[in-house]
Amino acid sequence: MEQIKTDILVIGAGSGGLSVASGAVQMGADVVLLEGHKMGGDCLNFGCVPSKALIASGKAAYGQAHSDVYGVANVVPQVDYAAAKDHVHDVIAQIAPVDSQERFEGLGVRVIREYGSFISDTQVKAGDAVITARRIVIATGSSPLVPPIPGLDDVPYETNETVFDLRTRPDHLLIIGGGPIGMEMAQAHIRLGTKVTVIEGDRALGKDDPEAAALVLESQRAEGVIIEEGAKAEKISGTGGAIEVLAADGRVFKGSHLLMAVGRKSNIDKLNLDAAGIETTKTGIKVDDSLRTTNRKVYAIGDVAGGMQFTHVAGYHAGVIIRSILFGLPSKASTSHIPWATYTDPELAQIGLTEEQAREEHGDRMEVARFDFHHNDRLIAERKTKGFIKAMIVKGRPVGVTIVGHQAGELINFWSLVMVNKLKMSQVSAMVSPYPTVTEVNKRVAGAYFTPRLFENPTVKRVVGLIQRFVP
């Protein structure tokens, strides 16, 4: 059994783990990295990257069929589903070298391609090696949650870890789960020529602002996606090519393929956390504000920490703990400035509190400023006017922003900068955007906030009148 001693042991080579390993080794720490599956983790291989690539294929097909509004004749897209999947895997292959074992070994990281399991509070066994580390970072991510629905074990089904390997286009895809993953895959597949039915036990996109979510769902229904809400799957039966889902209220849904998209579960089963004195919660590993576990020598970041499950959160967590691990400085994680986006068409993005949450927390002190996309000249020119932005504002500062529409995922970046730096709407209104750009909507929502204060305020009008009368 090989004995290895190191400064930092990172368990998991996904987004968060790789960020910690690269940052720490380049600043002089000795680092060992464990990965029992694929370098790059879920995001590169099964999540963010392949899903956005497939969405791009669907967008290209949709564009061909809906180009007449620009003076270009519509054509029926000739979709080669297998070629679309080749595109997906080519995108993964182009990004993979950045996350590769060779790159990290070149940086000086000792990479061991094994799963890790704790044998004490400072030791982890991985294959034929035992690693003793001064600090340990758990970054094992999450996996698709597959609920114990009766009959599911006897029926072939896909998850996000398998659906991108399908080479033959499904005739009719049943998707259980109307969250971001389910709705993104629904739209991508309907645009590539597959019939799609989404089966959601509660409300589709139920964690998002209801007004914004309704606009997304309306668009998908218009494209032909069947969205069945309040349909809790009670039983699944059939074989490949002929699958039935029975809902608790008696509704029956039939399709050729089944995709499970009901959520994620933290990857903790292989870790033997009890041996290290690490406690867990219902959603993952228990951590404090500094992302330390109940074992003070061990940190948990990203999905496995049981909070917001986004790749960019894992990367943010990595930066938080690097400060603490390498320099011994206090550092705490916050979620108030963390945005997220659903890459449907239109896109849906959120940061901070939704309108409902802001009203509950701040009551009458909270104001909502809104700007509709159909007033933006660039969006009018591009025929992308469906959508809006609304900012929830308390004492002149935004506490949350909801954006739905074209490029919402890009537009929300600006608000992360605003909120992490605690900027006021007056500072937002002072920005200047080139004309015509989509980004002008961010400035215009600040204008909407000040309009009643300036143009509808009798006191302002009286002051201006006096100045015009008496100031030479």
Q: Do the annotations mark residue 177 as ligand-binding?
A: yes
Cβ 101 vs Cβ 111: under 8 Å = yes
What's the half-sphere exposure (Cβ side, CA atoms, 13 Å) at 184?
23
- Give the separation between CA 388 and CA 392, rounded to whole angstroms: 13
Q: Do the annotations mark residue 142 as ligand-binding?
A: yes
Within the chain, how many helices (H) and strands (E) appear?
14, 21
- Give the separation between CA 218 and CA 128, rounded to whole angstroms: 55
Phi/psi at 309 (nearest 5 deg)? -100, 80
Structure tokens at 154: 């006897």
Closest CA to 304 of 339, 269, 262: 269
Cβ 202 vs Cβ 229: under 8 Å = yes
- Give the separation between CA 61 and CA 78, rounded to whole angstroms: 8
Q: Do the annotations mark residue 2 as ligand-binding?
A: no
Closest CA to 126 of 110, 147, 141: 110
DSSP line for 246-307: EETTS-EEEESEEEE-S-EEE--TTS-GGGGT--B-SSSB---TT-B-SSTTEEE-GGGGTS
Burial class, 417, CB count within 10 angstroms (exposed 0-12 / middle 13-18 / buried 19+): exposed
Q: Do the annotations mark residue 303 as ligand-binding?
A: yes
- Give the separation between CA 98 and CA 337, rounded to whole angstroms: 27
Q: How far is CA 337 from the centre of its chain?
A: 14
Q: Do the annotations mark residue 451 as ligand-binding?
A: no
Closest CA to 231 of 277, 207, 191, 262: 262
Q: Do the annotations mark residue 108 as ligand-binding?
A: no
Q: Do the annotations mark residue 419 as ligand-binding?
A: no
Structure tokens at 434: 């080139």
Q: What Å distances lie between residue 8 and 33, 110, 299, 407, CA to CA?
A: 9, 11, 11, 39
Q: Do the annotations mark residue 141 as ligand-binding?
A: yes
Q: Do the annotations mark residue 116 as ligand-binding?
A: yes
C-alpha Rg value of the chain to the nearest Å: 25
Q: Residues marked as binding for FAD?
A: 52, 116, 140-142, 303
Q: Residues marked as binding for NAD(+)?
A: 177-184, 200, 263
Q: Residues marked as binding?
A: 52, 116, 140-142, 177-184, 200, 263, 303
